[in-house]
Amino acid sequence: MMPEATRKCIIVDDEPIAIRVIRGYLLQMGGFEIVAECRTATEAFQLLRSHSIDLIFLDIQMPKLTGLDFLKALQHRPKVILVTAYREYAIDGFDLDVVDYLLKPVSLERFMKAIDKFYQLMEVNTKVHTAATQVPASILVKSDRKTVKIVLDDILYIESYSDYIKIFTADETIITKERISHIEESLPGSFIRTHRSFVINSAQIKSFTNEHVNVAGKEIPISRSYKEEVLLRFQSL
């Protein structure tokens, strides 16, 4: 049975015929909104900054940036179905956790199997998310010979001091021997690196300029190397 929710998708392919085939199949099946049809991975990358997408139909061989390199560059990516004329990249694709790998020309039957895989994964993710929302997301860190549980929503910002960091919440400051780049990997997309020494919780932002962001009264710098990405992220808040 087809799920009621309409899923948002984009098609990324430099071949107009391939785009037309996928578009036609999606229109026959229903249940999808095609947000955009992109001819390059760079165009898709910019679109993902401003749109919430459930599924990407992605070609591999494209100008300037391949589909696989594009996926490797995404920190938080939607579900992906690779659609390509090249069989030899299948292992690389599945190593990147794609939903399915379709070889051109794609038949409607094979396309439907891929869509069915996508719906099954979305159903599993929904169940996991529902269970997870019953308990606030948190991380565990070592501090003063104890293991401390910190609820992610309580974190204001994190500041690095060489080989240790300070995690600031409204009620306390937790010090742990950890590199900021390592703990950043365990944080969800709502946390933003603004400087080599700072990661902030975007939900706690009070105001910002091109040089600083105010979090709970603390003026946190935005460094030149992070500025472009940070300001683009702020525009979508």
Residue with the bigger pLDDT between 228 and 102: it is 102
pLDDT for the residue numbered 125: 65
pLDDT for the residue numbered 83: 95
Percent of the chain at pLDDT > 90 equals 67
Residues linked to residue 56 through DSSP beta bridges, in sequence order: 10, 80
Per-chain mean pLDDT for the chain: 89
Q: How confident is the model at residue 143 (pLDDT cuts 50, 70, 90)?
A: very high
**CA–CA separation, 89 vs 102, rounded Å?**
11
pLDDT for the residue numbered 134: 60
**CA–CA separation, 196 vs 187, rounded Å?**
16
Percent of the chain at pLDDT > 70 equals 92
Secondary structure, 3-state, the chain: CCCCCCEEEEEECCCHHHHHHHHHHHHHHCCEEEEEEECCHHHHHHHHCCCCCCEEEECCCCCCCCHHHHHHHCCCCCEEEEEECCHHHHHHHHHCCCCEEEECCCCHHHHHHHHHHHHHHHHHHHHHHHHHCCCCCEEEEEECCEEEEEEHHHEEEEEEECCEEEEEECCCEEEECCCHHHHHCCCCCCEEEEECCEEEEHHHEEEECCCEEEECCEEEECCHHHHHHHHHHHHCC
pLDDT for the residue numbered 158: 97
pLDDT digits over 72-121, tens only? 988 888 999 999 999 999 998 888 889 999 999 999 999 999 999 999 88
pLDDT at 129 over 80: no
Task: Flag the least confident range among 19-23, 60-64, 118-122, 126-130.
Answer: 126-130
Residue 74: closest CA among 83, 65, 86, 63: 65
Q: Which helix (H) or strand (E) holds 69?
A: helix 67-73
Mean of pLDDT values over 55-67: 93
pLDDT for the residue numbered 1: 38
pLDDT at 130 over 70: no
Mean of pLDDT values over 187-215: 92
pLDDT at 235 over 90: no
pLDDT for the residue numbered 74: 87
Q: How confident is the model at residue 45 (pLDDT cuts 50, 70, 90)?
A: very high
Does the predicted model carry a pTM greater than 0.75? no
